[in-house]
């Protein structure tokens, strides 16, 4: 059974996708960008501020679905520039102090809204 997860505490989908889908005890969170759901705008600042907002958006979706960061098993991090990896990793790592999930990180040519980072997440109960 497929359950659509949606919260106003994270940016709404801007296309034909859901914030997250839960199926058979697994939560698939769509790639989150650093948009503040209160303003609908990309947060100001650099890669650290953008990564922090992305992680807050992921936290809001996890909470709405009844999951926590401890349930996350896989992340995919997309960066507009690989030179931002260390700073992104510092913020990202602060959310996974023990038993961090599997992860892939890629530099891509461009991201939506010209942001610096997008992260998709999979969690399992």
pLDDT in tens, 100-112: 999 999 999 999 9
Q: 2-124 domain in CATH 3.30.360.10? A: no
pLDDT tens digits for 31-49?
Answer: 999 999 999 999 999 999 9
Contact (CB, 8 A) for 29 and 124: no
Contact (CB, 8 A) for 115 and 33: yes
* Residues whose CB falls within 8 Å of the CB of residue 66, separated by 6 or more in sequence, listed in order: 125
What are the residue ranges spanned by the domains of the chain? 2-124
């Amino acid at each position: 059974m497929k359950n659509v997860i949606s919260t106003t505490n994270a940016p709404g989908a801007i296309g034909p996708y859901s914030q997250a889908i839960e199926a058979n005890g697994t939560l698939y969170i769509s790639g989150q960008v650093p948009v503040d759901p209160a303003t609908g705008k990309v947060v100001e600042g650099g890669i650290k501020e953008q990564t922090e907002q992305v992680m807050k958006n992921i936290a809001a979706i996890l909470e709405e679905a009844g999951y926590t960061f401890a349930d996350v098993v896989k992340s995919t991090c997309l960066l507009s520039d690989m030179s931002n990896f260390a700073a992104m990793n510092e913020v990202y790592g602060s959310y996974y102090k023990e038993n961090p999930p599997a992860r892939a990180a890629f530099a891509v040519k461009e991201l939506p809204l010209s942001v610096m980072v997008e992260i998709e997440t999979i969690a399992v109960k």
